[in-house]
Every structure is written in structure tokens, then in C-alpha cells.
Structure 1
Amino acid sequence: MPWLLQSLPPNLSFTHYYSRTRSRPSSPPAHNSITTTTTTTQLVVVAASTKTINEDDYHSTLRALNSKGRFPRKSLGQHYMLNSSVNEQLVDVADVKEGDVVLEIGPGTGSLTSVLVNAGATVLGIEKDAHMAALVRERFASIDQVKVLQEDFTKCHIRSHLVSLLECKKSLDGESQHAKVVSNIPFNISTDVVKLLLPMGDIFSEVVLLLQEETALRWVESTLRTSEYRPINIFINFYSGICNMKDHFNAFWLINSVPGVKVLGLLCIGPELVTGRDPEYNFKVPRWNFFPQPNVDAAVVTFRLKQAADYPQVSSIKSFFSMVNSAFNSKRKMLRSTLQHICTSLEIEVALRNVGLPSTSRPEELTLDDFVRLHNLITKV
């Protein structure tokens, strides 16, 4: 038996169950927000004794690595999935259907690619490792719906690749569509990947990523006035979300405009619709599902991307995020100090009061909406 197969983990069995967390506030009470309560449902993968996973889940991955004489490279953050049921759940979360165009970052041995193809998707894989790119090309050589590029995702021209593929699909099917992203990405490039993908709502409808669980929780659960609340949370909320208040007023108008139907009073809207549900924590993936086994667990998170028309209205997106990043450079300092390169402390204090915030506000106390209103005021000073 090749040396790599000697690293085969013990045969495990799996089952899936839904665990419902206790009700908790969807966000902490704030000076300008309404406290709401939601209940989160998580799909968790755990060890059990009811169903035995086929050993090919392990052996096929390890034999594929052996075929190229490869060992997972730490520098590339390579941790290969050994449990095909996790790949199936990943594709199910993304609701991949026949005819979908899917971007896969780091296809590795092609285990997730295979599930995507079986779901009827056309797959564009971006693989940095030349040996693994060759392996996936060979594996799917007879399948036209798989294309693999050997490139560093953080440096490639992904927009041009996807636009070309979507235009080709449109010429064949006669319909325009958005692509999806479904990937088990190297943990060490998670932030880079999200920063590249989320502003591309004109290309992608949703992004489903398998991330380090700590990162997933930080992006999903971080709340105001905590050390985990960072510029990346503002960035994610700016570019992803399923709805906004404008949608609800439009819905209210449509209901009242239907002949014979009249709704009196305010339209009742669930709190999850007002605040949006993105990013969404889907399920946990324990570390023993990977080879080599990482030191941390993973989790799947979904981002639903906004169209440009739904972005918060700021005079300049570039200057907005420049202001946000500057605000967090010294989190213990007040905004009237960290933003002095934009305008004077007095002008910042006046702007803060004009948006209903204390003049002593710190960055970790501001919501996305607060930052938007503050930016639009101080850039006019």
C-alpha cells in the first residue's frame, strides 16, 4: 500500500441531525435599533453508529493524491475532504440545479466537483496547485461541463472568466443567469476570497463557503461593542443581504394596489426580513472529516449577494471603506480622534450628534447604517 494510504483515518460512521439553539436576540439593543428575537437552526455533522460511510470516501481521495505523488501542502492550506456526505450537503445548501454555473475555488482531488456535476452544474474550477489542477482535468476529461484553470484565485481575473462562461451559456440557453460559488477553500485565504467575491453581485447570486468555524462564527455572530466586531463585518453587511426596508415598502404598496384588497395599518414584517439573514451559518463540519486533520473545526456559511442598486447609498464606496478602516485602526480611541485626517474633531462631534450618536462614540458601537450616515455627513464638511 502506498505510503500516503498509511495515514488513512479509522473508519467512522456519520449521521445528521438538526439542533435548535435557544432563542436569542438577533442583534444587541442599540440606540437606533429594534430588539428582535430569532431562532437559529443549525445542521451539524456528528459521529454516530447508524450509517457507515463507504470506505471509497477515504481511499479515493488518498489514492488520487498518491497518483500524483502529492502530500497536502501546508503553505497552500490544503485539507482534503474525506466525507462525501459533507460535499452533498454543501451542494444542497447552495440549491445547485441542472444548468447552474458554479465557481469552485480549490477543487483539489475533485470530490466536490463530482457532486456538483451530478447535480447538473457547469463547473469552473480555479486551482493554484498545478499537480492537482492536472489531476482534476484528467478525472473530468470526458465531461464538457467542467473547466479547470491553474491559477491563484486571489490574483486571477475571475470576472472575465465568469462573464465569458455566462455569455456562452446564454447563447445556448437563451436566458441570462447569475453564477454561484460553492467551495471548500483554504482557511488561510478566507478573508481575501470574501473581499473579492462579495462585491460581484452582478455575477454571483450567492456564495457558499466551507470555512474555519471560528471565522464563520466571527462573521455571523459578531455583535456591537465586542472585540470580534471588525471592518470585515461592515464589509459583509454592505455587500450581502436578502432584503432591505425599500423592499418592504414596495411590498406594502403592491398589496394595497390590488383591486378589492385594502390593508389598514402597518404591514407586519418578521424581524429576519428587516435585518436580513446574511451571512447565514448552515452547519458545522468536525475536523476529522479532513485529511490531514486540521487543528480546528470547519463550518459552512452562505452569503446572498446584493445588486449594486441595493448597496447602502454612499457618495463613494472607496472613501466609505477607507473611513471604516481608519475608524478601527485604534479601536480603543474615539472616532473624533481616529477620523481627524478627514476633518476636525469638532466637525466629527457635530456629525455624530446629527446622526443621533454620542460625540464620544467608538467604532465598535456603530452599525453599518450609522457608518453610512456618518460618512455622508463628514464628506460634505
Structure 2
Amino acid sequence: MSPLSFSNLQTLPPISSNHRPKPPPLASPAGSRRRMLYICCAEGGGRVKRTSTDDYHGTLKALNSKGRFPRKSLGQHYMLNSDINEQLAGVACIEPGDVVLEIGPGTGSLTNVLLNSGAFVLAVEKDKHMAALVSERFSSTGKFKILTEDFVKCHVRSHMSSLVESLKQMDQETRNAKVVANIPFNISTDVIKLLLPMGDIFSEVVLLLQEETALRLVVSSLRTSEYRPINIFVNFYSDPEYKFKVPRTHFFPQPNVDAAVVSFKLKPPTRYPQVSSSKSFFSMVNSAFNEKRKMLRKSLQHICTSLEIEEALTSIGLLATSRPEELTMDDFTKLHNLIVK
């Protein structure tokens, strides 16, 4: 993945400046119509037009309040357009009573939208200074909890189960558990591998990813260099959908690449492809792609004989000389069930 560019950090105008280059219009999902967004107030039953200070100057003001600069090592890039945060919440259909996991809340611009949509938010933030900032901002809502942890080392399942149970004990009506996050590009694969097998907890995962990554995960085709084991993994555990592109100019600092929003509708465990063991299934898939130029009858010889692999391939309607990039997830599932004892 391309690293974030911080070359423009020192040339940005100060907070007090009234000048800011206008970003390009926000790209909307195909077929959608622009409309004014209205949401329920957290305290009342009336509906009000939402206003927000989570823009360019608001973000810099929040960072300066803690004396912070975005850290390249943490992949920090902050959203400057509140409309995109509204669309992120809209893609996930956030409603009152939903429990939402947010990864890397930063200054809290997306958190604000989620809370105003009626959700209870569990945020995980590695940067202790930013964790303190959002804690100060939202602790009084009574619907926000922050964990100062590295997400890829965090026990998400335990934290979510504990939170949902405590909400039930407080007679809080909960609906769905979802993930909505603008995540650092450099941990996107790790995040996806952690979250997608949690269809027993989350119904949907909506992430803002590097656009190249988003396209590779969702639309990579057979017989291309972009088709990899991660594509098998994503489709095993979810139904992914590319939603819309987000130009790089909407972030601070501006990265070298554009972003995109992807929705992963998680499958409950009862809908996973039927294999004897998911561990052995993905071990087979990884072995196949580790030597993707070789035919499967060669790369999978550690599982069974070449003849047995050839017979298995032909029995499911494939050539005996098939290579991994020629097999769909269903093909791999059938092959696994035939050759892995």
C-alpha cells in the first residue's frame, strides 16, 4: 500500500485563516439521489437538521487542543467532510439501539454522527491522546465507551459480548451490532481478517479503505494477478459490495491515494460454505496460491497424490491442469471436500 504523504503538513494555513481550498464534490453511490439528512436528537423526540463543526478548521482545532500532529506510524488521516461520515452511517443503516464498533475514532467526527443516529459506540483508539480527546467530547452522552488499545491485538469478541450484556442489564434495548470505521490504510487487511469471521456478533462491517484495496477485495476477477486468497476469504465470510469513491482531498493530511467505502454483509456461521474445517480449507487455498504458477496437481501434492487431485478436479468439471487463479470459492470448497481427509 502507498504510504501517506505528510509533505503538505507545514504548508497548510493556520486555524485562524479563512481560506481553504474547496474539495471536489462528494461522490455518491450509483443511482442515489442527494437529499438533506435529518436525524433524531439524542435527548428529544423531535427531528432536527444536523449541523457539525467536524470540518477542516474543527479538525485542526481539535488536534491543536492536544498539541497533536497526525502520526505517520499510526496511519492517521482525518476526515474533513462530514457528509462522508453521514454516508458511512447511511450505508450501514445505523438506527437507534444499534451497537457500533468504531476503529480509530480520531477527533470523533464519525463518532458524532453515529451517536446522533442513536447508536451506542464502542471505540478502539491506539493513540492515548486522541482517546482522551474523544472521551472528553462524548463521555457525557452515556452512550460511548473508549478502549485505548491496538485494535489488531484487541479482544474484540470479549469486549463486544461484555458491552452488549451490560446494556441488557441496564434495560437498554439493543438491535444490531455493526462496525463502521475510517481505518488506517496500513492495517486494513489485518482488520478484515479479524472482523469478517465474526458473523455471530456483527451483521455488517462498513469500512473506508484505500480505493485500490477496495477494488481488489470486491471486484477482482478470475485469471488476473489481483485474484488472491484474500478474495476467497472475503467471500467465504461475507457478501462484499463497493459503495462509492472518496477523493484523497477530503483527508488531512492528504494521502497519495484515493479511498472508497466498502460494505461487508457478514454471513452467520450457518451460511458459511460447508467444509470439514475452515482451518484446513484456508491452508489448502494458501498453499495453492503460494505457487500460483504451478498446476494444482503439483502445488497440492503434500495433501494427496497428483492423480487424486486430477481426478477430483475433473469430477467437479475442471481441467486436470487447472491453476489456482482459475477456481472460484465454490470450486475450492468442492476440491477441499474431495482431497482433504
* Residues 26 and 246, structure 2, Cα contact 8 Å, conserved in 1: no
TM-score, structure 1 normalization = 0.78
Task: Report the Cα distance in structure 1 between the residues aligned to 2:29 and 2:155, rounded to whole angstroms.
Answer: 40
| Residue equivalent to 1:376 | 337
| Residue equivalent to 1:124 | 122
Task: Report the Cα distance in structure 1 between the residues aligned to 2:304 and 2:258, rounded to whole angstroms.
Answer: 44
Task: Report the Cα distance in structure 2 between the residues aligned to 1:228 and 1:178, rounded to whole angstroms.
Answer: 33
Q: Which runs of 5+ in 2 are unaligned?
A: 1-9, 35-50
* Residues 65 and 109, structure 1, Cα contact 8 Å, conserved in 2: yes
The alignment yields a C-alpha RMSD, in angstroms, of 2.2
SS of equivalent to 1:342: coil
Q: Which runs of 5+ in 1 are unaligned?
A: 21-40, 45-52, 241-277
* Residues 43 and 282, structure 1, Cα contact 8 Å, conserved in 2: no
Residue 10 of structure 1: how far off its partner (Å): 2.4
Residue 142 (structure 1) aligned to one of 136, 140, 158: 140
CA distance change for structure 1 residues 42 and 56 in 2, over 3 Å: closer, same or farther?
Answer: closer
| Residue equivalent to 2:256 | 295
Residue 220 of structure 1: how far off its partner (Å): 1.1
Matched, 1:167 2:177: no
| Residue equivalent to 1:189 | 187
Task: Report the Cα distance in structure 1 between the residues aligned to 2:319 and 2:86, rounded to whole angstroms.
Answer: 49
Matched, 1:328 2:289: yes
Q: State the identity as a percent.
A: 71
| Residue equivalent to 1:215 | 213
| Residue equivalent to 1:50 | none
CA distance change for structure 1 residues 7 and 293 in 2, over 3 Å: closer, same or farther?
Answer: farther
Matched AA of 2:78: Y
TM-score, structure 2 normalization = 0.87
| Residue equivalent to 1:233 | 231
Task: Report the Cα distance in structure 2 between the residues aligned to 1:376 and 1:138, rounded to whole angstroms.
Answer: 53
Matched AA of 2:93: D
Task: Report the Cα distance in structure 2 between the residues aligned to 1:189 and 1:132, rounded to whole angstroms.
Answer: 18
| Residue equivalent to 1:12 | 22
CA offsets per residue over residues 291-318 of structure 1, 9 Å max, x none? Answer: 0000000000000001111100001110
Residue 348 (structure 1) aligned to one of 309, 319, 336: 309
Task: Report the Cα distance in structure 2 between the residues aligned to 1:321 and 1:340, rounded to whole angstroms.
Answer: 16
| Residue equivalent to 1:107 | 105
| Residue equivalent to 1:202 | 200
Matched, 1:357 2:318: yes
SS of equivalent to 1:98: coil
Matched AA of 2:258: D
SS of equivalent to 2:160: helix
SS of equivalent to 1:170: helix
| Residue equivalent to 1:78 | 76
SS of equivalent to 1:154: helix
Residue 13 of structure 1: how far off its partner (Å): 5.5
SS of equivalent to 2:263: strand
**1 or 2 for the larger relative contact order (CA 8 Å, sep ≥6)?**
2
Task: Report the Cα distance in structure 2 between the residues aligned to 1:152 and 1:174, rounded to whole angstroms.
Answer: 28
Matched AA of 2:13: Q
SS of equivalent to 1:200: coil
* Residues 42 and 281, structure 1, Cα contact 8 Å, conserved in 2: no
CA offsets per residue over residues 329-350 of structure 1, 9 Å max, x none? Answer: 0111111111111111111111
* Residues 178 and 202, structure 1, Cα contact 8 Å, conserved in 2: no
Residue 11 of structure 1: how far off its partner (Å): 3.6
Matched AA of 2:20: P
CA offsets per residue over residues 3-54 of structure 1, 9 Å max, x none? Answer: 896367824166456575xxxxxxxxxxxxxxxxxxxx5899xxxxxxxx98
| Residue equivalent to 1:157 | 155
Residue 166 of structure 1: how far off its partner (Å): 1.3
Task: Report the Cα distance in structure 2 between the residues aligned to 1:4 and 1:136, rounded to whole angstroms.
Answer: 27
| Residue equivalent to 1:367 | 328
Task: Report the Cα distance in structure 2 between the residues aligned to 1:87 and 1:79, rounded to whole angstroms.
Answer: 14
SS of equivalent to 2:152: coil
Q: How many residues align?
A: 313
Matched AA of 1:328: F
| Residue equivalent to 2:240 | 279
SS of equivalent to 1:147: strand
